[in-house]
Amino acid sequence: MSESAKPHHPTPQGKGEKTHGSDFSYVGIDAILEQMRRKAMKQGFELNIMVVGQSGLGKSTLMNTLFKSKVSRKSVQPNPEERIPKTIEIKSISHDIEEKGVRMKLTVIDTPGFGDQINNENCWQPIMKFINDQYEAYLQEEININRKKRIPDSRVHCCIYFIPPTGHCLRPLDVEFMRRLSKVVNIVPVIAKADTLTLEERDYFKQTIREELRANGIDVYPQKEFDEDAEDRLINDKIREMIPFAVVGSDQEYQVNGKRILGRKTKWGTIEVENIAHCEFAYLRDLLIRTHMQNIKDITGSIHYETYRVRRLNESNAHFSTHPSDHPDVQPKANGQPEEQPSALQANGVAAQLEALSHEM
């Protein structure tokens, strides 16, 4: 058959791919971005946010404002007996949110009762236990022989800590909580109900808090040691200069200059939640959702969870090496030959599995 008579079979073109007919040097490596986008759109995303602070600081309202939906428990009014919990309770509420075809499973973990008691000694322990329990659940799914193709992620990705707008300094409770929890989770401190402070009081309060955080060795998100390059360092330095964010939350809409805005209406005017001249809510939203969400999840998995995983695997290996009498390796058979017991086989198998996992990851 002559060259001109050969049939032409066009190469199938993937959705969203561009043609490069005359570019013979084009390989198509950049198409991986489109493949990743399509896969992510199918799977959806997960985000778990914990909110911590004493009652009355607007935690539920701020979460509803961040995601422009009723994602928190504000509508549930407790009876007088349950209004102030006797102990710290951990309550998780999950929601499926979709925007422009992008699906996200959002879980809000509330901690009612934190800081509301007369004696708040060790009140961070239930929160610490909850965070570690989620790491443990994820670890147990990982070390299963027949583990799931996609492990459900209930790990806490970010903890928003609400600081009362006193205008003076951090309370010992605030310092102790952030000092302990910053080692196991990403903490983003915010000044709640910042509209109760003047601009001068707010700036002074923010500066005082930053100095106290440095003095107590508390690393809040974004942590300096996790900056990947100079560009990230430049962006994150600007964010660190604004921390803690002075925020105002509201799920009420008002008409201002012909536009519908979220805000708080007072006798002397309307405080616009998304106006950066009024508060720093927009900066907090951008950090959590629009610019650093994936980085927050990456640090949770590669730093905080990894630290917990290594510690647990070391504990398991140490247990098997220091308690050999609990699992006898051999027992003599009738003919004098050693016989390995099933319990020893099982223990050695678990140890080998944990060791293999530690090398694998």
Q: Tell me the DSSP string of 201-253.
A: HHHHHHHHHHHHHHHTT--PSSPGGG--SHHHHHHHHHHHHHPSEE------E
Average pLDDT on 265-284 reads 92
Query: pLDDT at position 108, please?
Result: 94
State how far the Cα of 109 lies from the Cα of 91, in Å rounded to an integer: 6
- Under the banding of pLDDT at 50, 70 and 90, the label for residue 246 is very high
Query: pLDDT at position 326, please?
Result: 56
Cα angle for residues 229, 233, 235 (degrees, 5° grid): 120
Sign of CA dihedral 308, 310, 316, 322: negative
Average pLDDT on 223-234 reads 91
- Under the banding of pLDDT at 50, 70 and 90, the label for residue 350 is very low
For 253-292, b/e burial (b = at least 16 CB within 10 A) is: eeeeeeeebbbbeeeeebbbbebeebbbbbbbbebbeeeb
Q: What is the pLDDT of residues 34-53, one digit of tens each?
A: 898 888 888 889 999 999 99
- Under the banding of pLDDT at 50, 70 and 90, the label for residue 237 is very high
Query: pLDDT at position 314, please?
Result: 92
- The secondary structure of residue 268, as a DSSP letter, is T
Average pLDDT on 162-169 reads 92
Structure tokens at 36: 């990743």
Query: pLDDT at position 189, please?
Result: 97
Query: pLDDT at position 153, please?
Result: 94
Residues listed for the chain: 361
Query: pLDDT at position 115, please?
Result: 83
Query: pLDDT at position 48, please?
Result: 97
State how far the Cα of 108 lies from the Cα of 105, in Å rounded to an integer: 10
- pLDDT over 70 for what percent of the chain? 79
- Under the banding of pLDDT at 50, 70 and 90, the label for residue 223 is very high
- Under the banding of pLDDT at 50, 70 and 90, the label for residue 268 is confident
Q: Tell me the DSSP string of 75-134.
A: T-PPPGGGSS-SS---EEEEEEEEETTEEEEEEEEE-TTTT-SS--TTTTHHHHHHHHHH
Structure tokens at 113: 């009762």
- Under the banding of pLDDT at 50, 70 and 90, the label for residue 19 is low
How many Cβ atoms are within 10 Å of 61's Cβ, its own excluded?
A: 20
In the three-class reduction of DSSP (H, G, I as helix; E, B as strand; rest coil), residue 286 is classed as helix
Query: pLDDT at position 330, please?
Result: 45
State how far the Cα of 269 lies from the Cα of 281, in Å rounded to an integer: 18
Residues sharing a CB contact under 8 Å with residue 97, sequence separation 6 or more, in sequence order: 67, 69, 71, 103, 104, 105, 106
Burial class (CB in 10 A: 0-12, 13-18, 19+), 42: exposed
Q: Which is nearest to 174 in space by CA: 57, 305, 292?
A: 57
- Under the banding of pLDDT at 50, 70 and 90, the label for residue 316 is confident
Contact 192, 163 (CB under 8 A): yes
Average pLDDT over all residues of the chain: 83
Q: What is the pLDDT of residues 53-98, one digit of tens each?
A: 988 899 999 998 998 877 766 544 555 555 555 567 898 999 998 8
pTM (global) more than 0.85: no
State how far the Cα of 188 lies from the Cα of 159, in Å rounded to an integer: 6
Q: Is the pLDDT confidence value at 18 over 90?
A: no
Average pLDDT on 332-336 reads 48
Q: What φ, ψ does residue 315 adopt, rounded to 5°?
A: -65, -40
- Under the banding of pLDDT at 50, 70 and 90, the label for residue 349 is very low
Residues sharing a CB contact under 8 Å with residue 272, sequence separation 6 or more, in sequence order: 256, 261, 262, 263, 278
Query: pLDDT at position 343, please?
Result: 41
Query: pLDDT at position 347, please?
Result: 43
Q: Is the pLDDT confidence value at 16 over 70?
A: no
Q: How far apart are the first and last CA of the chain?
A: 56
**Residue 91: how many CA atoms within 13 Å on its side-chain side?**
16
Which of 7 and 47 is assigned the larger pLDDT?
Answer: 47
Q: Could you tell me how far CA 253 lies from the centroid of its own chain?
A: 29
Average pLDDT on 95-105 reads 89
Q: Which amino acid is it at 257?
A: N
Average pLDDT on 165-169 reads 91
Query: pLDDT at position 216, please?
Result: 95
- Under the banding of pLDDT at 50, 70 and 90, the label for residue 202 is very high
Order of all β-strands in the sheet with 259-266: 253-256, 259-266, 269-272
Q: What is the pLDDT of residues 178-195, one digit of tens each?
A: 999 999 999 999 999 999
